[in-house]
A and B are shown apart, each in its own frame.
Chain A
Amino acid sequence: MNKILPLIFSGTMMLISGFLLLHSFVFPPHTAASLDTDFGILFYPRIILTVWLGCATALFFQYLYQKRKFVLKSINWKLLGVSILLTLIVCIMFEYLGFLPGCIVFCFLYPFALGYKNLKVLIPVSILYAVSLWFVFNKVLLIILPESPWM
């Protein structure tokens, strides 16, 4: 278990950089403009991708053969998963429900799911925070936030 996470990560990095490098050769982009030089628009990205691939490969083998145990901090996977999931949900809510409902729901659910159960504080804070942010951005700063279909 100690080695699995860094191995998965470095392996994924190898695959991504390898895929991107391959992609640059198999599907080169159409170039509309071309200056009088031997080095086209993929010259630099290919260097970067090659070094990235090299580093990822080196890391992979470093983790594979290292004798020292990889120390992973104790993580509460459940809370972490909830935190990430709720952040994803609020992004989706911003897109489809608008800022205000999404923000109120998130500001209530996030602390609640992470263990803060004081509803007397949570309910007013989530409503007040969302409304004041909406007001400041939409009316004072004039940065239009995602609109709700019902408002």
Chain B
Amino acid sequence: MIDFANITAAFYQTMQPECFLSILVGTLFGTVVGALPGLGPIVGITMVLPFTYVMGPLSAIALLLGLYCGSVYGGSISAILINTPGTPNSAATCFDGYPMAKRGEAGKALAWVTIGSVFGGLFSTLVLIISGPQLAKFALRFGPVETFALIMLALTCIATVSRGSTVAGIMTGMIGLFMAAVGPDPLDGDIRFDFGFFQLTAGFGLIPVVVGIFALSEVFTRAGEASDQVTATVSYDGMVFPKWKDIWLKGRPMQMFKAAAIGTGVGILPGTGAATAAFISYAEAKRTSPRGDKFGDGEVDGLLASEIANNAVTGGALVPSLALGLPGDAVTAVMLATLVLHGITPGVRLMVDNPIAVYSSFISLTIANIAMFFFGILVAKLFAYILKVPEVLLMGLVVILCLLGTYGVRSNIFDVYLTLASGLLGYMLRMIGAPLAPLVIGLVLGQQLELSLRQGLIVTGDSFTKFFVGHPIAVVLFIVTALILGIPFIKYLRSRGKIEEATAGDLPD
């Protein structure tokens, strides 16, 4: 049944000036941040985070949602105009966007990308609106054992699917889970692993760690790669929108829906991200499009496949975040952390306990995707000027906002040092190619994982057998987790077997 009362209330609150303005400011700022190579959604969110502390929860989330959508789209502007994706999400956009720009069709490419991004974003928002409440309703059946199994599945997905080695992914996940275990035990409240430091009795703050791991380590990485290279933009005189018949060209509407479905589906899976969605969608479009042979030479279908998919990830990633309280990536983890800062507990009861916040998120996301269309035109026009801001100047300002953002949570200087330490850890993890997302997701979900494990053991009378095989939903989730963990190992063993067979065949008699 449609909850009209709460939807109306959410609509009324979202349309209040503070909230509505937050969506617009977030989308505009996100588009700028996304367009600047090196700054991505996480750095952008870090920069606005301190301002959300004094906002209402709906406005804070609206600002972050706008920024999220805008930054994913913004990356395509630099991908087309300077052949450098503003974020890794738009890497596939370069393949066809830059060739179009080089032959003087930058305006056309940007117009297609804008249409595609808005379409992808709105499609995934619709999926979120339809599937989110259903999933949340189903999740209400979850007890502690099911919750434990679900979190295990999410963490396993994130650790194995994220870029880098699986073992490194699991290790970073464990570091995050351990950091969440420092401080008060969720059941008894007893303090552990504080090593006599008063500041550690409350545990590690989520915001300092997230900001350090992602934003500060990104600054260090850019500093270590600093170059004086000046990037030249191609000539651009404003967007040239396609004619109606170009949109309905043979096979194109189907390609657009397919890209949106791929993006949304990939977004729902924890740990995958927009870059993966864009590449999968691009490969699929190349295989099936009637104009697939022109991909790479500036084909509109290629542009659309990449951009629709990466923008569709935004709504998809919010499905598990809002319905189950499971963040799929670092951006949604920060969003859930912001909810916590505002006294809203994410989890399976989020939709039941805070329906207005959830419906308001849906509305904000819809408005942000529409606003993206207009801000895209503006930012693309001003891009040449935006690009003139020297990167080193910008990085210094980002560091200050990172430190302010972490200080502002508890007004505690310890958090500032913790941010720096996390930044160094993040930099080292980047250096060895370990994924960062599992650490943050582990930190977000750690307390809930421990609580559900220990509550589950109390419920089952401390019996591991009952815990692992006594709950049908949990059993299915445990089996899927085991399969995800086991398949790479089986593949490895099979490939070794094949190599040995081949080597044995080569041996002389």
Contact = CB atoms under 8 A, between A and B. Distances in A.
Given A48-B178, A144-B411, A145-B407, A106 B224 contact: no
Q: At the interface, is chain A mostly helix, strand, loop or mixed?
A: helix
A137 B399 CA distance: 16
Interface string A104-121: 001100110011100001
Interface residues of B, number: 59
Nearest to B169: A55
A41 B190 contact: yes
Interface residues of A, number: 72
Contacts, number: 179
Contacts of A74: 225
Contacts of A143: 50, 53-54, 408, 411
Interface in A43-100: 43-45, 48-49, 51-52, 55-56, 58-59, 62, 70, 72-77, 79-80, 82-84, 87-88, 90-91, 94-95
B138 interface: no
Contacts of B189: 32-33
Given A59-B168, A107-B397, A29 B190 contact: yes
A17 B417 CA distance: 22
B315 to A, nearest CB: 31
Contact of A84 (B53, B220, B454): B220
Contacts of B454: 37, 39, 43-44
Contacts of A32: 188-190
Contact of B50 (A31, A107, A111, A141): A141
B233 to A, nearest CB: 21
Nearest to A78: B224
Majority secondary structure of chain B interface residues (helix, strand, loop or mixed): helix
B240 interface: no
A106 B400 contact: yes
A90 B224 CA distance: 19
Given A37-B454, A111-B392, A52 B174 contact: yes
Interface of A: 5-6, 9-10, 13, 17, 20, 23-24, 29-35, 37-39, 41-45, 48-49, 51-52, 55-56, 58-59, 62, 70, 72-77, 79-80, 82-84, 87-88, 90-91, 94-95, 103, 106-107, 110-111, 114-116, 121-122, 125, 129-130, 133, 137, 141-146
16 contacts: A37-B462, A41-B192, A45-B192, A48-B174, A48-B178, A52-B175, A72-B431, A79-B223, A79-B224, A79-B226, A95-B416, A106-B400, A110-B399, A111-B390, A115-B392, A133-B404
Given A52-B174, A146-B407, 6 more contacts: A5-B431, A29-B191, A83-B219, A87-B216, A129-B400, A141-B51
